[in-house]
Structure 1
Amino acid sequence: MSNEIEIGRGKRGRRAYSFDDIAVVPSRRTRDPKVVSLGWQIDAFQFEIPVIGAPMDSVMSPATAIALGNAGGLGVLDLEGLWTRYEDPAAVFEEIAALDPADATARMQELYREPIKDELITARLQEIRAAGVVVAGALSPQRTQEHYETVLKAGVDLFVIRGTTVSAEHVSDGAEPLNLKKFIYDLDVPVIVGGASTYQAALHLMRTGAAGVLVGFGGGAAQTTRTTLGIHAPMATAVSDVAAARRDYLDESGGRYVHVIADGGLGRSGDIVKAIACGADAIMLGAALARAEEAPGAGFHWGPEAHHSELPRGERVHVGTTGTLDEILFGPGTHADGTSNLMGALRRSMATTGYSDLKEFQRVDIVVSPYQAG
């Protein structure tokens, strides 16, 4: 059965769904939330909650990466961000928070022209390691070959290659593109790579040897990729498609499991619930954690797309402050809008629908039920 829709006589399009278009369905069984497990594991690393802090300057500093690690999650530091460009970026963060919206993009482009310093990459990663939590850092595909040796020498447990979209096949007339398969094969640490938003793109990334694939493309709160490039991937369909690629690759590879990590469009606890229900093993949070009192963005949120030197396709957005990181993750919730006690909401949804762990919850029934505000 095809779910293609005729756009016009010369073009047909596949119907795709966002998290707002779907809902999970209770089953005949319920559980006590206290017996529900939110733990997950990637490679040799076990985590108490399926939360990865997005490598974005407004979300992750060395201090917040440590705090998230101590809370049972994984913080990923952006190794191309302000923390590796400035010895003390506090004044830069204050300036960005105070910028007039009309001037924000141009000024941020200037601030991010400061060169990345290898010694700061080393210092920031060593600071996180000294705290005794899992160490993870991220580079874009364009910067990976330039800085990855520094990253590995500094000591990372997990390495993330993150871009708006990352492919296993990149064609270029300029510099030699990153050969993901050879690169991952030569590394001694697990690699998480993405974003990908289609079955075929994800399958190709899995074949490179990646331990995890990030699912998303322009779905985040601070991105304007759809407006700028006309590209968008509704997340419910994208996560489900990539989960299907994981299943097929498991058979193809003779049992190698690649983790699916939803990345984008996850600003509320209900979105997290539905991402796991669609097949995600874990979720990468940006805006949701940028609302923490400890977040370096001070109530503002932006990604690397917002200060791209040639084609900005994101912006600095005000997300406000909801509470401490601990309150956002574990409560007690003081907001009824899905911005606090995210893990409590996930645990209660799993208990209400009768599932005891994340892998089981991926089998929950889903209905298409578009949300109508008001």
Structure 2
Amino acid sequence: MSNEIPIGLAKSGRRAWALDDVNIVPNRRTRAPQDVNLEWQIDAYTFDAPVIGAPMDSVMSPQTAIALGRLGGLGVLNLEGLWTRYEDPQPVLEEIAALTGDEVSAENTRRLQQLYSEPIRAELISQRLAEIREAGVVVSGSLTPQRTQEFYRTVIDAGVDMFVIRGTTVSAEHVAQEGDPLNLKEFIYELDVPVIVGGAAGYTPALHLMRTGAAGVLAGFGGGSATTTRRSMGIRVPMATAISDIAAARRDYLDESGGRYVHVIADGGLGTSGDIVKALAMGADAVMLGTTLARAEEAPGQGWHWGLEAVHPDFPRGHRTRVGSVAPLEEVMWGPSRHTDGSSNLMGGLRRAMAATGYSDLKSFQRVDAVVSPVVQQSR
């Protein structure tokens, strides 16, 4: 039976669901929250929590990446950000936090573009990754596909443990009339470290990315509240459907490859602990968090949040968003919480949801029952 919905005489489309449209249902015996195991393993690395800090300058600095690593997650440093453009980025961060005017101010965007026009310095990439390595946590950095060929050797030589290739939408092979294309299958084959790549928002592109040898695929377009890709480019796939479709690609690739498991990592639109719960219930193995970690008191954005989309020199499609500061990073991750809106004790919320629905580990929790209850949202 087709699930295509007519849009008009010449076009039809699938119905897709956002995380707000779905909820999980407790249909099993409940468990004690302390009996729930939140460990997540990818390649040779095991983490106490299925949380990756998004490679965004408002979220991850070398110090917050270290702090998140010590709290059981994985911090990913943006290797095209302020820490690899400036010897001391703190004055720049303070200037960004102090910008006045409307969030979508053209003057603010122009200033962000100017600040990010400083060239990326390979020696700073090495220096920042070395800072993280010296702390004894898993070292991870991120580049966009456009910069990967230019700087990946510097990243590998610096001793990175895990490499992230993250863009708005990433395909297995980028085609261009000018310049050499980035063939991810050939590129990943040459590397000695696991690679996480994305975004992808559908079954077919995700399957192609899995065939490149990637250890994980990012489901979504990233950026969350700090991106306006839907308005500027007309591109959007609601996250519940995107994650479920990519989880189906993981299942089929597992059979196709004879047992090779590729992790699905939900990336974008995860503002609360409830969103994290539902992303994992839809089939994600872990989550990449931007907004939720940008609210930590230690976050370099100082209560503001933005991504690389906001500083694109030709076509900015994001803006600096006020998210506020709610608690120290440890409280945001593990509590105890002082908030009732799901903005802190993220892992406590996940643990209690799994216990209430009768699951004791993340992999089995992907089988939890769900219902669809659409939320009518006003267009903005």
| Superposition TM-score tier, normalisation by shorter sequence | over 0.9
Of 130, 134, 141, which residue of structure 2 is paired with 1:130? 134
Of 201, 204, 211, which residue of structure 2 is paired with 1:207? 211
> Contact between 2:199 and 2:222, CA under 8 Å: does it hold in 1?
no
- Matched with 2:30 is 30
- CA deviations on 1:168-221 (whole Å, 9 max, x unpaired) are 132211111111000000000000000000000000000000000001026611
Residues in 2 aligned to 1:154 and 1:236: alpha-carbon distance in whole angstroms: 37
- CA deviations on 1:98-128 (whole Å, 9 max, x unpaired) are 1123221110000000000011000000000
| Equivalent position amino acid for 1:243 in 2 | A
Partner SS, residue 367 of structure 1: strand
Of 154, 158, 174, which residue of structure 2 is paired with 1:154? 158
Of 319, 322, 325, which residue of structure 1 is paired with 2:323? 319
Of 256, 259, 263, which residue of structure 2 is paired with 1:255? 259
- Matched with 2:292 is 288
> Contact between 1:17 and 1:236, CA under 8 Å: does it hold in 2?
yes
Q: Name stretches of at least 5 consecutive residues in structure 1 with no aligned partner.
A: none
| Equivalent position amino acid for 2:255 in 1 | D
- Matched with 2:191 is 187
| Equivalent position amino acid for 1:184 in 2 | I
- Matched with 2:119 is 115
Number of aligned residue pairs:
374
Partner SS, residue 250 of structure 2: helix
Partner SS, residue 344 of structure 2: coil
Residues in 1 aligned to 2:323 and 2:199: alpha-carbon distance in whole angstroms: 23
- Matched with 2:336 is 332
| Equivalent position amino acid for 1:75 in 2 | G
Partner SS, residue 134 of structure 1: coil
Shift of 1:371: 3.4
- CA deviations on 1:223-250 (whole Å, 9 max, x unpaired) are 1000000000100000000000000000
> Contact between 2:223 and 2:307, CA under 8 Å: does it hold in 1?
no
> Contact between 2:197 and 2:209, CA under 8 Å: does it hold in 1?
yes
Residues in 2 aligned to 1:129 and 1:156: alpha-carbon distance in whole angstroms: 8
Change (3 A) 1:73 1:36: same
| Equivalent position amino acid for 2:117 in 1 | R
Residues in 2 aligned to 1:73 and 1:224: alpha-carbon distance in whole angstroms: 27
- Matched with 2:279 is 275
Shift of 1:373: 8.0
Partner SS, residue 221 of structure 1: helix
TM-score, length of structure 1 as denominator length: 0.99
Shift of 1:28: 2.9
Shift of 1:336: 1.0
The alignment's C-alpha RMSD in Å is 1.1
- Matched with 1:350 is 354
> Contact between 1:97 and 1:300, CA under 8 Å: does it hold in 2?
yes
Aligned 1:37-56 pairs, distance under 5 A:
37-56=37-56
TM-score, length of structure 2 as denominator length: 0.97
Residues in 2 aligned to 1:348 and 1:215: alpha-carbon distance in whole angstroms: 24
Shift of 1:265: 0.7
> Contact between 1:218 and 1:224, CA under 8 Å: does it hold in 2?
no
Shift of 1:372: 5.7
- CA deviations on 1:251-306 (whole Å, 9 max, x unpaired) are 00000000000000101111100000000000000000000000000000000000
| Equivalent position amino acid for 1:344 in 2 | G
- Matched with 2:367 is 363
Q: Is 1:266 matched with 2:276?
A: no
Change (3 A) 1:218 1:50: closer
- Matched with 1:239 is 243
| Equivalent position amino acid for 1:283 in 2 | V
- CA deviations on 1:312-331 (whole Å, 9 max, x unpaired) are 01110000001000111111
- Calculate percent identity across the aligned residue pairs: 71
Residues in 1 aligned to 2:194 and 2:88: alpha-carbon distance in whole angstroms: 30
Residues in 2 aligned to 1:114 and 1:135: alpha-carbon distance in whole angstroms: 25
> Contact between 1:219 and 1:234, CA under 8 Å: does it hold in 2?
no
Residues in 1 aligned to 2:135 and 2:44: alpha-carbon distance in whole angstroms: 19
